[in-house]
Amino acid sequence: MSDRAPASAGRLLVTGCDVLRVPPEGECEILQARDIVVADGVIQDVRPTQDVRPTGTVAHVRPDVIDRSDVIDGRGLLAVPGLINAHTHSPMVLMRGAAEDVTVEGWFNDRVWPMESNLTAADVRTGARLACAEMIRSGVTTFADHYFFPEQIAEAVAETGLRADIAPTYFSSRGQEALESTVRFAEEWHGGAEGRVTVSLGPHAPYTVDDTDLRTLAGHARRLGVRTHIHAAEHLEQTRSSLERRGITPIRVLHETGVLDAGALIAHGCGIVEDDLPLLAGHADTTAVAYCPKVYLKHALSPLTPVRDLLAAGVTVAVGTDGAAGHNTLDVWEALRLVALTQKQAVRDATWMTVSDTLRLALRGGARALGLQDRIGALEPGMRADIVLTDLSGAHCRPLHDPRAALVYSARAGDVRTVVVDGRVLMCDGRLLTVDEPTLLDEADARVARILDTSHGRAVQHYDP
Amino acid sequence: MSDRAPASAGRLLVTGCDVLRVPPEGECEILQARDIVVADGVIQDVRPTQDVRPTGTVAHVRPDVIDRSDVIDGRGLLAVPGLINAHTHSPMVLMRGAAEDVTVEGWFNDRVWPMESNLTAADVRTGARLACAEMIRSGVTTFADHYFFPEQIAEAVAETGLRADIAPTYFSSRGQEALESTVRFAEEWHGGAEGRVTVSLGPHAPYTVDDTDLRTLAGHARRLGVRTHIHAAEHLEQTRSSLERRGITPIRVLHETGVLDAGALIAHGCGIVEDDLPLLAGHADTTAVAYCPKVYLKHALSPLTPVRDLLAAGVTVAVGTDGAAGHNTLDVWEALRLVALTQKQAVRDATWMTVSDTLRLALRGGARALGLQDRIGALEPGMRADIVLTDLSGAHCRPLHDPRAALVYSARAGDVRTVVVDGRVLMCDGRLLTVDEPTLLDEADARVARILDTSHGRAVQHYDP
């Protein structure tokens, strides 16, 4: 926990910034020279900027607007909606760079699942906080997490001020008590941290959770009004294996066990086939697919998620990083750039997945994927104030003909200057306000040797989809 | 030109840094706690660090070593060989973000070639300097350029202290005088700027330069002892078109016109086919292919350059960004990451293009591609002192299990702190010493509207390969 007090969550005024507008369809726009007025964590207005004195203090603003407010000088910066990481395993930052140049099977069975058997609640506590620090620095304000010791992640989110949907990872091999504990986590934490934490149930995948457990969890999801976050059809071989072993695709398993009906965030879906599309489309209002292209390339997967077919069928697609043991960063800028690049190539159409469509997929798609489209994903009155101020004045973005293209193809996480979540300032001009980063980095370093030791031969699970 | 004096190119001592060692084959290594001793632009020694006082001043070092030397405190930083951008069109930073979401044909005929008809020598002068600033900031110390007004680029390189191989772009449509002028440029500038500028001849491509001109230029290249830098077999359709129109592949055109025999740096090569491999292998000591994956994905090309086949045939492969009108940055970190990601997927082998092989391709491959393997690409005694100090202490690289993996998969251009070329410090802890960046950015902005105006309907060339 930081020794520095977090900024107030009362009133906030961001003055003189440009604002990225991401409409539900059509071209994104840059609204120039705006003030963003925030009260009680909600955007009240995005209006042409008022006269601002050169010192940065605000003049000619009605006193009731600036009463108790923090004022952020946004001149020269572009405000974008906070980025959304629609699929990750945040504490896996502890294993960043520790599973390189291996097959998918080797990644699971020789590296990651053995390492994960070493993890303690305290490790996850540190890993989740480190992940939050990295995400705040890169302008990610919301993440959909899927991991063990979920209460540690929820505490990290509560403390650092981020927003997250947290799914407790469950394997059937863990037994009934583990299943009940994931349900209790949902009961305790859904709507927690002043509404910034939501919960999804987290059966790992159709190949590690049996149909009975999927049905039970889908029933709990419906009862609790939460969704399920699950890996499915991660690549085409898994779909083929499912067809061979049981005659139906992984997506149909989710359909038949009621998981789709209760609402599902499906990670990856590179193995989604044509027959799956109507099943997903039938639940398009509560079902989404998180696309994490960097890890698919790194794991040499082909084909990639059929994003164009999914969007054409009305299914929401969002962008995620997956865990840092595969993606190496939690950088959604990197991920959304790869959305555009990989999808243009995948469908052999350079005019598709345009700059505007990529930003829309990452922002509005991300919000819908988490069921939060009424709260986040756009800087508009009535939305929660999750605001990222980016500085596109660096040489690598100049001349700045088109800030939208710069966001997709030139900008870097390091261009993020200031981050606001729910109206609270989490980073101000590169300074983290809710994380004691040096102490946290030392804590993480101290845990490394033990976590990386796989000489014991244990694993949390065996991969054999 | 900067109003700040460049640092001395005499003696230089970098103390206490870790050093990336990239061997000709096998795993890369991290040498811990070294001093890099530089004199007259050349690395004299990379030795275990001497006692360094906490203040950063050096003690117990022989006086003759520190005489007249600049001392850089490298503690906590990783020294890597300066990155090499093996194919770019540096002044095209002026068109960054101005040609998005279009087909290859539209990119050339509707956007880039019309915009290029607006360019003046003064535009190129500004664009090249801006590109140099961006490259210095991101740790690129050498680039292979291909553009108009090459003397402006050479002046920018001389002034900013970078290293470059510059090819003057030539189309046959420009006529005999233009051809002779490119040869004169080679005669005047090869070996210029204290040896930091080398020249290649720059026929644009086999589809824009006729065989007679290719033969003439190959003859000049042999006479002058320089190579040819040329676009060829950019994608498979070009190869097919060449086979249809004249019965041979673009690579065979280079073979038959003597271009390969004189030595060639071939940009792209996504359309290199099996029959081309023996032709390239026959000139493997002086021929290389520059792979620029971001633009291939963005232009929806498939297949990609057959990197595995080329390497297996003994042909050098290096990494480039291409121009910023396609790549949007000149960021070689981004490019080398995409080398690993795209090549693993292209050959469906996650264990291939390892972290070590990717670094080797970018560094040793880059040096060989420019014929500079005896001067750059490694931090070893006898090599020119092109040194980049990177800071991998940020949250996005931590814990730092494996700095080599961090360089390929986590690090960002913004992690570069200090850049040395030929023993001269060009950037010190993020401060550019040879570029007046604010003035330069203003100059670039002032040129934008005129350069982007394509209402005149002119173009430097028509694309119809």
Q: Which two tokens stand for residue A134?
A: 């990295």
- What is the β-pairing status of strands B416-421 and B424-428? antiparallel
Determine the distance in angstroms separating the CA of B93 from the nearest CA of chain A, rounded to an integer. Answer: 7
Contact A319, A335 (CB under 8 A): yes
Instruction: At A312, list the tokens.
Output: 């054409």
A328 residue type, one letter: N
Does B107 lie in the same domain as B205? yes
Residue in B94, B345, B409 closest to A399 by CB: B94
Residues in CB range of A247: below 8 A, 6 or more apart: none
| Nearest chain A alpha carbon to B352 | A101
How far A358 CA lies from chain B's nearest CA (Å)? 11
> What does the pLDDT look like over A145-197, one tens digit per residue?
999 999 999 999 999 999 999 999 999 999 999 999 999 999 999 999 999 99
The pLDDT confidence band at residue A9, using thresholds 50, 70 and 90, is low
**CA closest to B399 among chain A residues:** A445
**In sequence order, what are the residues at sequence separation of 6 or more whose Cβ sits closer than 8 angstroms to the Cβ of residue B109?**
B459, B462, B463
Q: Mention every residue, 6+ apart, whose C-beta is less than 8 A from residue A107.
A: A99, A299, A325, A326, B350
Name chain B contacts of A447, Cβ cutoff 8 Å: 399
Give the phi and the psi of residue A390 in degrees, each rounded to 5: -110, 150
Q: Where are the alpha helices (H) located in B5-120, listed in sequence order?
A: 63-66, 104-106, 113-116
CB pair distance less than 8 Å for A397 and B137 = no
Chain B touched by A39 (CB under 8 Å): no
CA–CA separation, B89 vs B83, rounded Å?
A: 16
Do A43 and A179 lie in one domain? The reply is: no
B195 belongs to a structural domain = yes
Shortest alpha-carbon distance between residue A460 and chain B (Å): 22
pLDDT at B69: 61
Burial class of residue B348, CB neighbours in 10 A (0-12, 13-18, 19+): exposed
Pairing of strands A42-48, A29-39: antiparallel
| Nearest-10 Cα torsion for B396, A205, A301, A115 | 50
Q: In the numeric block, which tokens belong to residue B415?
A: 């992690």
What is the per-residue pLDDT for B10? 78
- The helix (run of H) or strand (run of E) holding residue A448 is helix A437-452
Contact, A373 vs A367, CB < 8 A?
yes
In this structure, the answer to whether residues A63 and A98 fall within a common structural domain is no
Pairing state between β B78-81 and A227-232: unpaired
In a domain, A1, yes or no: no
Structure tokens belonging to residue B299: 């232009």
Burial of B455 (0-12, 13-18, 19+ CB in 10 A): exposed
**Contacts of A183 by beta carbon, 8 Å cutoff, 6+ apart:** A201, A217, A220, A224
What is the rounded distance in angstroms from the CA atom of residue B122 to the CA atom of residue B75?
Answer: 41
What is the per-residue burial (b if ≥16 Cβ within 10 Å, else e) of B171-183? bbebeeebbeebb
Pairwise CA distance, residues B203 & B211, whole Å: 11
Residue B206 has φ and ψ, to the nearest 5°, of: -65, -20
ipTM: 0.94
Chain A residue numbers with beta carbons less than 8 Å from the beta carbon of B109 are none
B293 and B423 housed in the same domain: no
pLDDT band at A204 (very low <50, low <70, confident <90, very high): very high
A269 token code pair: 């879906």
Which residue, B340, B370, B400, sits at the end of a domain?
A: B370
Interface with chain B: mutation pick from A331, A333, A345, highest number of B CBs within 10 Å: A345
A331–B396 C-beta distance less than 8 A: yes
Chain A within 8 Å of B441 (Cβ-Cβ)?
Answer: yes
| pLDDT over threshold 50, residue A7 | no
Which residues between 103 and 142 in chain A have a beta carbon less than 8 angstroms from any beta carbon of chain B?
103-104, 106-107, 130, 133-134, 137-138
A97/B406 touch (CB, cutoff 8 Å), yes or no: yes
Same domain, A195 and A318: yes
| Residue A291 contacts residue A269 (beta carbons within 8 Å) | yes
The DSSP line for B200-269 is EEEE--TTTS-HHHHHHHHHHHHHHT-EEEEEE--SHHHHHHHHHHHSS-HHHHHHHTTHHHH-EEEEE-
Nearest beta carbon to residue B96 from set A340, A401, A414:
A401
B298 contacts A340? CB cut-off 8 A? yes
What pLDDT is attached to residue B3?
37
Whether B304 and B157 map to the same domain: the answer is yes
Average pLDDT along chain B, 465 residues, taken 10 residues at a time: 46 97 97 97 96 49 51 97 98 97 95 96 98 98 98 98 98 97 98 98 98 98 98 97 97 98 98 98 97 98 98 98 97 98 98 98 98 98 98 97 97 98 97 97 96 94 93
Let me know whether B118 and B141 are in one domain.
Answer: yes
For A413-427, give the DSSP string. GGGEEEEEETTEEEE
What's the pTM? 0.95
* Measured distance CA(A412)–CA(A407) in Å, rounded: 8
B62 — contact with chain A (CB < 8 Å)?
no
Q: Is the dihedral of CA A244, A250, A251, A252 positive or negative?
A: positive
Are A214 and A276 found together in one domain? Answer: yes
**Domain endpoint, select from B346, B370, B394:** B370
B157 and B45 inside one domain: no
3 state DSSP class of B83: strand
* Chain B residues 164-193 within an 8 A CB cutoff of chain A: none
The verdict on B74 and B150 lying in the same domain is: no
Residues of A in contact with B445 (CB under 8 A): 398-399
- Measured between CA atoms, the residue of chain B closest to residue A303 is B345
Model pLDDT, residue A50: 87
* Full residue range of the structural domain in which residue A234 is found: 83-370
Note whether residue B201 is domain-resident. Answer: yes
Q: Does residue A3 carry a pLDDT above 50?
A: no
> Does A396 contact chain B (CB < 8 Å)?
yes
In a domain, B438, yes or no: no
Q: How far apart, in whole angstroms, are the C-alpha atoms of residue A136 and residue A142?
A: 9
How large is the average pLDDT for residues A81-100? 97
Distance CA B278, CA B280 (A): 5
Judge whether A290 and A265 are in contact, CB under 8 Å: yes
Distance CA(A243)–CA(A259), nearest Å, equals 19
Number of domains in chain A: 2
CATH number, domain of B39, equals 2.30.40.10
Map tokens 């994956």 to a residue: B293
Indicate whether B63 and B197 sit together in one domain.
no
Interface check B300 vs A, CB under 8 A: yes
Q: Which residues of A touch B406 (CB under 8 A)?
A: 96-97, 328
The C-alpha atoms of residue B383 and residue B375 are separated, in whole angstroms, by: 5
Cβ–Cβ gap B401/A448 under 8 Å: yes
CB B221 within 8 A of CB B228: yes
Report d(CA B192, CA B198) in Å as an integer: 7
B51 lies in the same domain as B92: no
Give A-chain residues touching B98 at CB under 8 angstroms.
401-402
Give the pair of three-digit tokens for residue A98: 């520790």
Contact at CB, B342 and A297, closer than 8 angstroms: yes
With 0-12 CB in 10 A as exposed, 13-18 as middle and 19+ as buried, what is A290?
buried
* Model pLDDT for residues A25-37, shown as the tens digit of each residue: 999 999 999 999 9
Please state the three-class secondary structure of A367-398 as a single string: HHHCCCCCCCCCCCCCCECCEEEECCCCHHHC
- pLDDT tens for A12-57 read 999 999 999 999 999 999 999 999 999 999 999 999 998 655 444 4
Q: Is B235 on the interface with A (CB under 8 A)?
A: no
Domain-located, residue B447: no
CB distance B96–A397 less than 8 Å? yes
**Residue B450 within any structural domain of the chain:** no
Does residue A458 sit within a domain?
no
Q: Which two tokens stand for residue B242?
A: 């060449």
Give strand pairing partners of B39: B42
What is the average pLDDT value for chain A, to the nearest integer?
94
More confident residue, A275 or A50: A275
Angle at B312 between CA B308 and CA B318, to 5 degrees: 60
Mutate to test the interface with A, among B396, B410, B416, B453 (most CBs of A within 10 A): B396
Q: Do A397 and B437 touch (CB under 8 A)?
A: no
Q: Which of B385, B391, B376, B392 is nearest to B425 (CA)?
A: B385
A409·B351 Cβ contact <8 A: no
Q: In CATH, what number is assigned to the domain containing residue B324?
A: 3.20.20.140
Q: What is the CA radius of gyration of chain B?
A: 22
Q: Confirm whether B446 is domain-assigned.
A: no
Q: Are the beta carbons of B328 and A130 separated by less than 8 Å?
A: no
Q: Could you give the strand order of the β-sheet that contains B83-88, starting from the edge strand earlier in sequence?
A: B83-88, B140-147, B163-170, B197-203, B227-232, B264-268, B287-291, B316-319
Q: Hey, is the C-beta of A342 within 8 angstroms of any chain B C-beta?
A: yes
Distance CA B56, CA B77 (A): 14
Best to test chain B binding among A90, A96, A450 (most B CBs inside 10 Å): A96
